[in-house]
Amino acid sequence: MQSLAPRCRIVGCLFLALLQPTIQVLAADEAKQTKAPPPTIAQPGSADAAALHPPKPQAPLFRDLPRDIFRDQVFLWLRPFRPRRADLPWAAAFFGTTAGLIAVDRHVGQGLSANPPGAGYQFGKTVSALGTPLTGGAIAGTFYLVGRARKDPYAQATSILSIRAVVDSVIIVQALKGATQRPRPTFSGGTTRDHNADGQFFSGGNSFPSGHTIGAFSFATVIAERYRERPWVPVTAYSLAGLVGVARIVERQHFPSDVFVGAALGYLIGRHVAHSAEAKPSSTWNRLHIEPFVPAYGGSAFSFSWDL
């Protein structure tokens, strides 16, 4: 029990570090709304009225999460099959970096596992807790409750979007883990090598990519994109997410390429989810509507419709 006390204190401090920027952001929004000048009144039907009151995207709701997550999955899995010219430099950098890291994964994994666990291993194990879906849900829930208490719908929407991004990342990472079958560098405890820590794929494992990292970066990206007008918010969010990724390597649970791919995918997922609340995504699948309903004869069913 005594050994758990330092870890609990570290997790508590990191959790408070995450919540403090949240409260500061919401407080700043409330002060900004209080000091904002009264809006200019424009005549109905004039061009100024259209400029002052542009159409707003629909606010995300908890009840829409299943539908939105389904749409996200369709879009995210099909997006690689619809490449654009602007994607080529980023794709080359992504695959080139991933290939380079895979080449050094074995040396890193075996180098770390050659030494007994020390303070770095224990710290990495503690920090890894920030990347779990449970921690992400707790932070998102706190964000929602604080936003609701302050009557801030923007903060409440951010909370719902962050939960949506984390669920998207969990679905995608579990599918990729099952497809790649890469053993972790070491077994639980960090002292015994798993498959000689060689990083071979299709050997029975769930190391690639890092689930903690993809969850942390998808969550951080939603926060960073939603509050990007404050430079310190993206810096804080991405720094904490990066710390989770490094911790997974130090803890000997992932190879460097696992963490890099997880971070890249988490960023793309979070960016897609965050921007979907600002404008209608450029996807034909956005025309698909799936709604549950109760038929007159009883039971339950789903209705499918397509906007022309």
* Tokens describing residue 48: 């100024």
Q: 156-184 pLDDT, tens per residue?
A: 999 999 999 999 999 999 999 999 999 99
Q: How many CA atoms lie within 13 A of 218 on its CB side?
A: 34
Phi, psi (degrees; rounded to nearest 5) at 282: -80, 70
Distant-in-sequence, close-in-space partners of 59: CB < 8 Å, separation ≥ 6: 153, 157, 277
Q: 234-274 pLDDT, tens per residue?
A: 999 999 999 999 999 999 999 999 999 999 999 999 999 99
Residue 133: predicted pLDDT = 84
User: Is the model more confident about 193 or about 134?
Assistant: 193
Residue 9 has pLDDT above 90, yes or no: no
Distant-in-sequence, close-in-space partners of 223: CB < 8 Å, separation ≥ 6: 158, 162, 233, 237
Residue 222: predicted pLDDT = 96
Alpha-carbon separation of residue 121 from 7, 113, 185 (angstroms) = 12, 10, 13
Least confident of 20-29, 40-49, 109-118: 40-49
pLDDT bucket at 60, cuts 50 / 70 / 90: confident
pLDDT bucket at 293, cuts 50 / 70 / 90: low
Alpha-carbon separation of residue 50 from 5, 39, 57, 114 (angstroms) = 58, 14, 15, 66
CB-based contact 279:56 (threshold 8 Å):
no
Find where tokens 């990519």 sit: 209
Exposure string (b/e) for 200-221, b if CB count within 10 Å is 16 or more?
Answer: eeeeebbbbbbbbbbbbbbbbb
Residue 213: closest CA among 286, 127, 145 = 127
**Around Cβ 245, how many Cβ atoms within 10 Å?**
26
Count H helices, E strands: the chain? 10, 2
CB-based contact 130:216 (threshold 8 Å):
yes
Residue 300 has pLDDT above 80, yes or no: no
Average pLDDT, the chain: 81
Does pTM top 0.85 for this prediction? no
User: Is the model more confident about 282 or about 132?
Assistant: 132
Amino acid identity for residue 246 in this structure: V
Q: 192-245 pLDDT, tens per residue?
A: 999 999 999 999 999 999 999 999 999 999 999 999 999 899 999 999 999 999
Alpha-carbon separation of residue 119 from 86, 225, 235, 250 (angstroms) = 44, 34, 26, 10
User: Is the model more confident about 57 or about 11?
Assistant: 57
Find where tokens 């600002």 sit: 278
Separation of alpha carbons 18 and 35, rounded Å: 27
Residue 54: predicted pLDDT = 45
Residue 191 has pLDDT above 50, yes or no: yes
User: Is the model more confident about 44 or about 143?
Assistant: 143
Alpha-carbon separation of residue 90 from 93, 169, 264, 274, 283 (angstroms) = 5, 20, 11, 20, 20
Residues 80-90 have a mean pLDDT of 91
Domains of the chain: 89-288 (1.20.144)
Phi, psi (degrees; rounded to nearest 5) at 291: -130, 130
Residue 36 has pLDDT above 50, yes or no: no
